[in-house]
Structure 1
Amino acid sequence: MSRSMNASSLKRKRPESSSANGSLVDADRAVFNVIKSKEDMGIWTRDIKFETNLADTVVNKSLKSLLSKKLIKEVVNIKNKGRKHYMAAEFEPSKEVTGGAWYVDGNLDKELIGVLKGLCLKIINSKKVATVEGVYDFLNKSKVTTFDCTNQQIAEVLNSMVLDNEVIEVKSTGLGEYHSIPIGTVCYRIAKGAGLGESLKIGAMASIPCGMCPRISQCTPDGVISPRTCVYYQKWMNF
């Protein structure tokens, strides 16, 4: 392979961000390097100014330049929503920054949490007692939701319900209602005086798959998409 061909090949393989970084002025490069060094955690404006020791006007100008070149992006940090937080474009924000599955665009997804709480109540009420794995497996097998949830999410929902006195955390004795659950396993029961009837009614309504369906605007009683032909709706009705 000729020397010129080798150089050309290396040039083509060079990462776009690296090439763009090489063309930056000193101030922009300093700001970019600080932001990139934070990887998926990102950094907010004041810390950028502190670490680069550049004037406010210089940092602000560099940020605008880097944003226009799409080398960095502004992200929402749920712990400090009022602060402008920046991250190199090649990284995706960590769960610590975004809040994980419970947050959408920096806002707590209360609708999703409400749906899962209602479903958990209904499952525990029907089983009398249930483990995290039991609730999770039941949801997966019944397919009553139009979204996927993890075992960890179910555990977090149940823990929040314990704090709200909707369910209580107990350990299996291996007897009676606990016969199918290994002794000592943590499980959940409906809390006494938790307003079960009202909670289940609200939960059942909240868990209707229609509320999460992307085709709801096209759904009509006699249309191609309708409650009569909807698999998810029929499963919910039989749940």
Structure 2
Amino acid sequence: MSRPSMTPQKRAQPDSQSQPPALPENERILYELIKSRKNMGIWTADMKKETGLQNIVVTKALKSLQNKNLIKDVVNVHNKARKIFMAVEFEPSKEVSGGSWYSEGSLDTEFINILRKMCLKHIEELKVATIEDIWKSISASGVLKVACTMQQVLEIVRALALDKEIEELKSTGVGEFSTVQTGKVCYRSLRGREAPRVGHLSSIPCGVCPRISECTPDGVISPKTCVYYNKWLKLEF
């Protein structure tokens, strides 16, 4: 007769992520509410409204939950006077934190200015560069105390292009573009390059119209009947 196995069977461990910790009733109610808001967090006034708990009870429970490292308070850049709480496993959404350009609720202008100068410097050194080239050069330089993302570099580079410090173009694959794949978007500095000057009339249809000499205010050809002129003005006569 065979003996039954005496090897103890392991009990199934509860899922710590799905099971809330053992907490006093008031703390459990608040913790579950805060956690349900994920990366948006919740304002203390909304907690009181939704739970019906008194102010002193909410304040005491929140302090206890923070001491247990279950929740954290975060700054809402759009309303810094509001006390927002969220579970520690979540990072604030862009709507709350303001995104990667904010640090502790304030716009990090120092970091933006440094990254702006570095982007311009590396574009000038590389002559023609893609976003990937610029980001790799900045990362390899070791100048920044904190790592920057490629998305941050892209946003800075686009701002430089709008400010006419650099230009965005597509590689032709030849000449100065030989190191960049044909058709790929790249950037180069406008320093030392004179931007093309455009005459006042060349930007409107009249400046290049072959029948401008026949155009009169009340004639068959006139600004009132010209579809190109109307589109340029974005008006209806």
Q: How does the TM-score come out when normalised to structure 1?
A: 0.62
- Percent identity of paired positions between Structure 1 and Structure 2: 43
Post-superposition offset of 1:168: 2.3
Distance 1:86 1:144, change over 3 A: closer
Q: Is the alpha carbon distance of 1:140 and 1:58 closer, same or farther for their aligned partners in structure 2, counting shifts above 3 Å?
A: closer
Report the equivalent of 2:45. Answer: 46
Secondary structure of the equivalent of 1:78? coil
The CA deviation string for residues 204-227 of structure 1, in whole angstroms up to 9 with x for no partner, is xxxxxxxxxxxxxxxxxxxxxxxx
| Greater RCO (CA < 8 Å, at least 6 residues apart) | 1
The answer to whether the 8 A contact 2:41-2:84 is kept is yes
Quickly say closer, same or farther: Cα 1:188–1:95, change in 2 above 3 A. Answer: farther
Distance 1:144 1:61 in 2: 45
**Aligned counterpart, 1:199:** none
Question: Contact conserved, 2:102 with 2:108, CA < 8 A, in 1?
Answer: yes
Deviation at 1:186, TM superposition (A): 1.2
Q: Hey, what's the Cα distance between the residues in 1 that align with 2:179 and 2:76?
A: 44
Checking the alignment, whether the CA contact within 8 Å between 1:72 and 1:87 is kept in structure 2 is: yes
2:213 corresponding residue in structure 1: none
Post-superposition Cα deviations, 1:32-77, rounded to whole Å, max 9, x if no partner, equal 2101212333111233234324455554454344345543221112
C-alpha change, 1:14 and 1:147, in structure 2 (3 Å) is closer
Partner letter of residue 184 of structure 2?
T
Task: Tell me how far apart the structure 2 counterparts of residues 157 and 65 of structure 1 sit (CA, whole Å).
Answer: 42
How far apart, in 1, do the equivalents of 2:16 and 2:167 lie? 57
Matches within 5 A, 1:92-131: 92-96=90-94, 97-131=96-130
SS in 1 for 2:168: strand
Residue number in structure 2 paired with 1:186: 185
CA distance in 1, matches of 2:136, 2:30: 48
Where does residue 71 of structure 2 map in the other structure? 72
- Which residue is 2:171 aligned to? 172
Structure 1 pair 31–193 and aligned structure 2 pair: CA distance change class (3 A): farther
Write out aligned runs for 1:10-29 (5 A): 18-21=20-23, 24-25=24-25, 27-29=26-28
C-alpha spacing 1:129/1:19, structure 2 compared with 1 (3 Å): closer
Alpha carbons of structure 1 residues 30 and 147: separation in structure 2 relative to 1, 3 Å: closer
> Does the 8 A contact of 1:42 with 1:93 survive in 2?
no
Structure with bigger helix share is: 1
Structure 2 equivalent of residue 133 of structure 1: 132
8 Å Cα contact 2:39-2:93 kept in structure 1 = no
Paired with 2:138 and 2:16, the residues of 1 have a C-alpha distance of 47
The answer for the alignment partner of 2:82 in structure 1 is 83
Distance 1:74 1:144, change over 3 A: closer
SS at match of 1:152: helix
RMSD: 3.5
Deviation at residue 153 of structure 1 after TM alignment: 2.1
Instruction: Report the count of equivalent residues.
Output: 186
Segments of structure 2 that go 5 or more residues without pairing to the other structure are 1-5, 194-237
CA contact (8 A) 2:71 2:86 kept: yes
Calculate the TM-score normalised by the size of structure 2: 0.62
Residue 144 (structure 1) shift: 4.3
